[in-house]
Structure 1
Amino acid sequence: MAAPKKGRRSPGAQGRPGRALVGILVAMVALVGGMFLSGNTTPRLGIDLAGGTSFTLEAKNEPGKPNAINKANMDTAVNIMERRVNGLGVSEAEVQTQGRKHIIVNIPKGTDAKQARKQVGTTAKLGFRPVLSIGDGKPTKDPGADKPKPKPTPTKGADKGDNKDQPKGDEPTSPTPTASSTTQGRALPSALKAPTPKPSPTGDAPTKPSKEQADQVKKAEELQKQFAALDCTTPKARAAASQQAATRPNTEPIVACDRKGEAKFILAPVQLEGKHVEDASAVYSTQGGSGWIVQLDFDGKGGKQFGKITGELAKQQPPQNQFGIVLDGEVASNAEVSFAIKGGKAEISGSFEQQEADDLANILSYGSLPLTFDIVDETTVSSALGEEQLNAGLIAGGIGLVLVILYMGIYYRGLALVAIASLGVSAILTYSLMVLLGEAIQFALNLPAVCGAIVAIGITADSFIVYFERVRDEIREGRTLRPAVQRGWPRARRTILVSDFVSFLAAAVLFIVTVGKVQGFAFTLGLTTLLDVVVVFFFTKPLMTILATRPFFASGHPWSGLDPKRLGAKPPLRSRRRPIAPADTKEA
């Protein structure tokens, strides 16, 4: 018989179980130490256990969109709101529809309710509009308000457009799109471009403008009056101006205020819509003292449009070489363009605080709401009922754990110590991870999540039972404990992995297809299932390998749970081998 090759381990090799035990103990110390270093030793609780705030939002009918409130738009709004509030670090927020046009948003305690209130109701309609004029944020006198009406004159051929002697009112700080608007730089959009009367071939009075041209002049004059009367100095006035600008179609010019009320703008129609923004992130910039900015990444079509628009604006004179980034009818930033910006990237600057930049990036990243909502109710949710349910759940879990330990102690005797130690390791790992995940990803422990942890006790105990029974089967076949531990492991390992894979797959599917509290159950179930694999592979099996060398277990003590007589073991395999007859018999 050929000798086994040197250096190759046989299936019955003991390996180095001590290393695995040391490794998992180091991991436990690191997790528990990290928990204490973070200054928080309790898990973050969900709204049903800690209380919180509940918002009720009502969808509004928008002009020209009588059928906008439908199931598809409401579902889209729920999805966007959920991602927004979770972008604030709220992993257990509940967002769900109620009736035909209401959405309920529940935010756990510990979250800035004011900030969340602003996030969930913001429509986030983003547009890039070329700047036509900039003025001070204070209201100004309309230049044409005190203009005397020209007296009719019977003189034939008089110049009806000569108004040089008429008094002028206060003018804005930069050119505005009136009938005599500046001609330098970029031509104004057709909606604001005043028609220039063409001289008649005979040299008489200019031809009468067409009805379309007259309407354009009228719109330009109305826009100028709105610009002059616009007051951006108070929050109430800015909110009214933003609401009015947000309801205007993208194809029409608007007047708008900036975020701080220091300036007001006349802006051309939208040249690039915010739907082409793929991603947005808040970044601190040290260039030119910019501070916090929001970086934008456009999709392919948006990047090409943005490069084309900035290339055209770069050729214009101030202020028409700027574009305003308008969010919900308010100018978030107005940037001056000196060259074409290509590559599909841009940034929004405007003296942002970090929180403002984070909020804006969060809103832009998760898209604009398809509907406009009003918050019609805001209530505080008490945690009294949840605490009662939690106490009842913990009592039930404790009773179940005690029953499991008693059963294993009666049935497995000494092996129950291995199971109890493994359950203790699993409990420490689970608890410390929940605390750390509460700080890292804002995971909140709710009632369903507690149920998932209780269910995990049975899953973990089941893995130990599978391994113990495989070892006992090997002993029944007549093997001693050490080879039984090694030979029983491959079969038990396959069964444990298949079982845990099915549990983890169910948890993953449940987490993906559900929302709110059910996700907490799925997350906890998946986490504890993974920890079960870690504990069985790196603690239970190495511990069994070491105990197999101890006389109490190796000798099959009646209280070890591995007594061959009690298990009905067959005679040792060596005694059942038939003797091999010698090849050559010798004569006496």
Structure 2
Amino acid sequence: MAAPKKGRSASAQGKPGRSLALILIAIVALTGGMFLSGHTTPRLGIDLAGGTSITLKAKSEPGQESAINKTNMDTAVEIMERRVNGLGVSEAEVQTQGDRNIIVNIPKGTNSKQAREQVGTTAKLYFRPVLATEVSGAAASASPEPSASSSASKESDGEEATDKDEATPSDESASGTPSASATSQGRAVTDALAADSTPSASASAPASAGDDAATGADSKLQAQYAALDCTKPSVRATADDGAKPGDSSLACGQNSQGQWQKYLLGPAAVDGTDVDKAQAVYDTQSGAGWKVTMDFTSGGAKKFGDITGELAQKQSPQNQFAIVLDGDVVSDPYVRQALTGGTAEISGSFDQTEAQELSNMLSYGALPLSFEEQSVTTVTAALGGEQLHAGLIAGAIGLALVVIYLVVYYRGLSLIAIASLLVSAVLTYVIMALLGPAIGFALNLPAVCGAIVAIGITADSFIVFFERIRDEVREGRTLRPAVARAWPRARRTILVSDFVSFLAAAVLFIVTVGKVQGFAFTLGLTTLLDVVVVFFFTKPLMTILARRKFFASGHSWSGLDPKRLGAKPPLRRSRRVSAPVDPKEA
């Protein structure tokens, strides 16, 4: 029975070079990917790199002072966190301060202007029917927007109009699905929002639309629309003048040529809270580019179906609806048919960034409260840099003490441990650098602490393995069988220990927020890497070195000297010799 057991052990230990080659190939591939991506350093959090801090104050609408409560503030914080994460930021902090303020800290490296627009634009998203629209200010006379009649003439000539977004049903089986077209905002609407293919509005669409809008807006509002100049920032900021959802209103937005467009809009038909989910996706089937898909709530689906059914029967521009976020028209698709399925697509001239911005606004555009920006300050990394410097010194001292202990106590075995620590450090650094652009991971001070703590976890795994080997040597076994017998026992201990550490990190990551999650994430990552390094580097390297004379002979500096370990005499196999049997006398 001894021979088969020995054969199995030898085969299991026979090719440790494969494991070493595999992990070395992985290191080279990851390192190459890091340099090719251009991100050769980990992305830093706001405490290490600095950033922007935005203070927002909740405002109460007349007669709704009770709306500023803990529930609504917590909901606003949650939505703002999702908005910021929609920009690819992971280490942003969003938290309440007092009972009316919200603080948003955004790390350096993020487009702070874009973040302010999406976080500071805090609340009111509506879908409003377009009563009239035209290019605003001096640009209107110098470079007029293509009129509805010009679009019609293009289409009659067999060309596709590209001056407006189109909304269409997301169900590809729907009949009459039009091809994607660009929006006047430079943002497109897919098959869910589609317009009449042959609008017959006159060439003076803005003027005629303004006349037709008389039934939808009073003369005072029409006069304000005529005088509206959206090229002036101060005018754009007050264009809607606090209009209520049930009132007609004015709004501004930019078209695809970068010109400011003014709008006369009807009462809100769909509220931002009626959008259940919006997502930017690439249209792989038609190759038309990026589009935004929308899913509505059950109540929102009915509202959306009703308004699109009404708009589909009208001429341009009154077959359009405007997606308005705090008085700013972010898209104005036109409609060809009633969209009653509860889903819609916006497609046309989107690039990826525009599609993601619009989907982010649609998903997180409606907050339960209104907010005003109180202050915007730049956060320096001076304090975090000092703390990082002190932390790195502490980590270096701790690492030096670990290395000294390994050299003094384990001697030659310490070379294996140090090499394994270096491999673990390289993998940790490269993966952190790659995770920055991949998932927005940012290295903050707690994350650095997690990496320092991981040194002890990794060293503990080596010590467990080495002590199991030394125990086998003490029992009188030579080194190669000692390594073979020690590994299964050490493996179980290492896996259990690392599982407990990873479980603690996972729980900490789930139940905490902000910077503590950085500590938990780093601790969990380094724990997983410890398993990879021990299985694919430390153990194979130990198996190879066990065949070398320096270790196999138990050299006094190998760390496996039988005399120093107080080993028993070598175990020897011997055959049993049967004692002579004396013949029994009869």
TM-score range relative to shorter protein: 0.7 to 0.9
Structure 2 distance, partners of 1:399, 1:420, is 15
2:249 paired residue among 251, 254, 259: 254
1:88 corresponds to 2:83: no
Change (3 A) 1:310 1:454: same
- Deviation at 1:295? 3.2
Give the counterpart letter for 2:533 in structure 1.
V
Using the TM superposition, give the Cα deviation of residue 243 of structure 1 relative to its aligned residue in structure 2, in angstroms.
5.1
Q: Distance in 1 between matches of 2:284 and 2:528?
A: 41
CA distance in structure 2 between the partners assigned to 1:312 and 1:5 by the alignment: 81
Match of 2:155 in 1: none
Shift of 1:585: 7.0
CA separation in 1, counterparts of 2:5 and 2:388? 59
Change (3 A) 1:578 1:36: same
Q: Deviations over 1:503-554 (max 9, x none)?
A: 1111122222222222221121111111101100000000111111111111
CA contact (8 A) 1:49 1:383 kept: yes
Provide, for residues 36-62 of structure 1, a one-character-per-residue CA deviation record: whole Å limited to 9, x for no partner: 333343222222222222222111122
Please list, as runs of the form range in 1=range in 2, the aligned pairs for 1:233-248 lying within 5 A after superposition: 233-242=231-240, 244-245=242-243, 248=244
| Counterpart secondary structure, 1:41 | coil
Partner of 1:339: 337
Is 2:579 aligned against 1:579?
A: no
| Counterpart amino acid of residue 579 in structure 1 | R
CA radius of gyration, larger in: 1
Deviation for aligned residue 1:464: 0.4
Please say which of residues 560-569 and 263-272 is displaced more in the overlay.
263-272
List alignment gaps of at least 5 residues for structure 1: 140-169, 182-191, 193-218
- 2:377 aligned partner, one-letter code: T
How far apart are 1:83 and its partner, in Å?
2.3
**Aligned residues: percent identity?**
67
> Which whole-Å deviations, capped at 9, do the CAs of 1:430-488 have from their partners, x for residues lacking one?
11112222232332222111111111110000000011111111222222211111111
After TM superposition, the score normalised by the length of structure 1 is 0.79
SS at match of 1:89: coil
Measured after TM superposition, the shift of residue 177 of structure 1 is 5.0
Can you give the 5+ residue segments of structure 2 that lack an aligned partner in the other structure?
139-205
- Match of residue 528, structure 1, among 526, 529, 548: 526
Q: What residue is the counterpart of 2:197 in the other structure?
A: none
Aligned to 1:428: 426
Partner residue, 2:402: 404
The SS at the match of 1:128 is strand
| Contact 1:232/1:264, CA 8 A, preserved across alignment | no
**Distance in structure 2 (CA, Å) of the matches to 1:106 and 1:466:** 43
The equivalent of 2:379 in structure 1 is 381
Residue in structure 1 matched with residue 171 of structure 2 by the alignment: none
Conserved 8 A contact 2:274-2:297: no
1:563 counterpart residue number:
561
Q: Following TM superposition, by how much is the alpha carbon of 1:310 offset from its aligned partner in structure 2, in angstroms?
A: 2.6
- 2-side partners of 1:386 and 1:527: how far apart? 23
Q: Does 1:46 align with 2:45?
A: yes
What displacement does 1:126 show? Answer: 2.5
Equivalent residue of 2:65, what SS?
A: coil
Distance 1:73 1:448 in 2: 30
What is the Cα deviation at residue 368 of structure 1? 2.4
1:2, 1:293 → 2: CA distance?
A: 68
List per-residue Cα deviations over 1:54-112 (Å, max 9, x = no partner). Answer: 22211112223111222222222222222222322222222222222112222222222
Conserved? CA contact 1:296–1:347, under 8 Å? yes
After TM superposition, list the pairs within 5 Å mapping 1:314-463 onto structure 2: 314-348=312-346, 355-463=353-461
Are 2:48 and 2:388, in contact at CA under 8 Å, matched by a contact in 1? yes
Structure-2 residue corresponding to 1:495: 493
Within 5 A, what are the aligned runs for 1:184-223? 220=218, 223=221
Root mean square deviation of aligned Cα: 3.3
Once the two structures are overlaid, the 10-residue window that deviates more, 404-413 or 269-278, is 269-278
**CA shift in 2, pair 1:586/1:81, >3 Å:** farther
How much does 1:373 deviate? Answer: 1.6
Cross-structure match for 2:542: 544
User: How do residues 290-305 of structure 1 correspond to structure 2 at under 5 angstroms?
Assistant: 293-299=291-297, 302-303=300-301, 305=303
TM-score by length of 2: 0.79
Q: Which residue of 1 aligns with 2:27?
A: 28
Tell me how far 1:362 sits from its aligned partner.
2.1
2:103 matched residue in structure 1: 104
Q: How many residues align?
A: 514
Q: How big is each residue's C-alpha offset from its partner over 1:98-138, in whole Å with a ceiling of 9 and x where there is no partner? A: 22211222222222221111121112433323344556646
Q: How far, CA to CA, are the matches of 1:258 and 1:39 in structure 2?
A: 36
